[in-house]
Amino acid sequence: MLDYERLSATMRHMVPPSYRRIVFRIGADVKRSMNHYFRGQALVSFCVGVLFCIGFSIIGMPMAILLGMFIGVLNMVPYLQLISIVPTALLCMVCSVDSGVGFWVIFAEAIAVYCVVQAIQDLYLTPKIMGKAMGLNPAIILLSLSIWGSLLGFLGLIIALPLTTLILAYYDQYLLLIQRRDNRRQRSAAKIKETKND
């Protein structure tokens, strides 16, 4: 962090002068998209963590708050919270021994909490929060997560939304450039026609 200014100045000199404008513009766009993504994902993760805390507290799971917040932190990467099933199963064993209720009953309740929270996250939280943060349609969010996840696996889930936002933004800019070029051509053709008529 202390050497950030020096490193950024060094990076600036490493890019050839003719490409600096476009490279730094793309870099600024990537930085802005990643900032929006991580802020939105942090809010989704916090909401998911709170929902897990509430759900585990309702079923009487030991260390419900700690486990819920742990799952919320894991949720910074989409669908990584599935790793938390292992500590959840261990806590279900502890709860089973402590309370005398069967392990499978408590584990089924915990899985029900997972299913309910996952449904709330996928159907409401992610489309609303990430859609607002990234400026994407909820259907495009789910589609981009599935496409990039299948193409690049775990890394694809991390970069899916920022990359989709960038691609759509540059596609819109490309369409605007084509439209401006066509308008210029039409204007020049109209001027040539006017001069010929005169």
* Residue 10 pLDDT: 72
For residue 140, give its domain range.
4-197
- Rounded (10°) angle between helices 20-59 and 154-197: 140
- Rounded (10°) angle between helices 20-59 and 103-120: 140
Across the range 93-122, mean pLDDT stands at 88
- CB count within 10 Å of CB 77 equals 15
- CB count within 10 Å of CB 59 equals 16
| Per-residue pLDDT tens digits for 71-91 | 999 888 777 788 888 999 998
* Residue 2 pLDDT: 64
Count of structural domains, the chain: 1
Give the model's confidence band at 8: pLDDT under 50 very low, under 70 low, under 90 confident, else very high. Answer: low
Measured CA to CA, the distance from residue 97 to residue 108 in angstroms comes to: 16
Residues 130 and 141: beta-carbon distance below 8 Å: yes
Residue 113, pLDDT above cutoff 70: yes
Q: Both tokens of residue 81? A: 């919270």
DSSP assignments along the chain, one per residue: -TTHHHHHHHHHHHS-GGGHHHHHHHHHHHHHHHHHHHHHHHHHHHHHHHHHHHHHHHHT-TTHHHHHHHHHHHTTSTTGGGGGHHHHHHHHHHHHHHH---HHHHHHHHHHHHHHHHHHIIIIIIIIIIHHHHT--HHHHHHHHHHHHHHHTHHHHHHHHHHHHHHHHHHHHHHHHHHHHHHHHHHHHHHHHHHHH-
| Per-residue pLDDT tens digits for 116-132 | 998 898 788 877 887 77
pTM above 0.85? Answer: no
